[in-house]
Amino acid sequence: MIFKVYYQETKERNPKREQTKSLFIEADSLVDARSRVEKNTPYNIELIQELDGNHLAYEQENADFTLVEF
């Protein structure tokens, strides 16, 4: 499954919507995706969303779509 992870680059400051970034990761479950990101980055995770069907197709058309591997 492919997940879209919304995050802030640091846990030091309060989250601001304007500074929210996202990455795409392939994982077996939402829990697995969260643990991989937490283990390999200092990011403050806001939301993890599973992508499938039309939503996944839409995101894949975006130029910023690249799967992150740790």
Residue 62 DSSP label: S
* Residues above pLDDT 70, as percent of the chain: 100
CA distance 58 to 28: 21
Express each pLDDT in 29-62 by its tens digit: 999 999 999 999 999 999 999 999 999 999 999 8
CA distance 67 to 70: 10
- For the record, the structure tokens of 21 come out as 């970034």
Domain with residues 2-68, CATH architecture: Roll (3.10)
**64 has pLDDT over 90:** no
Domain borders along the chain are: 2-68
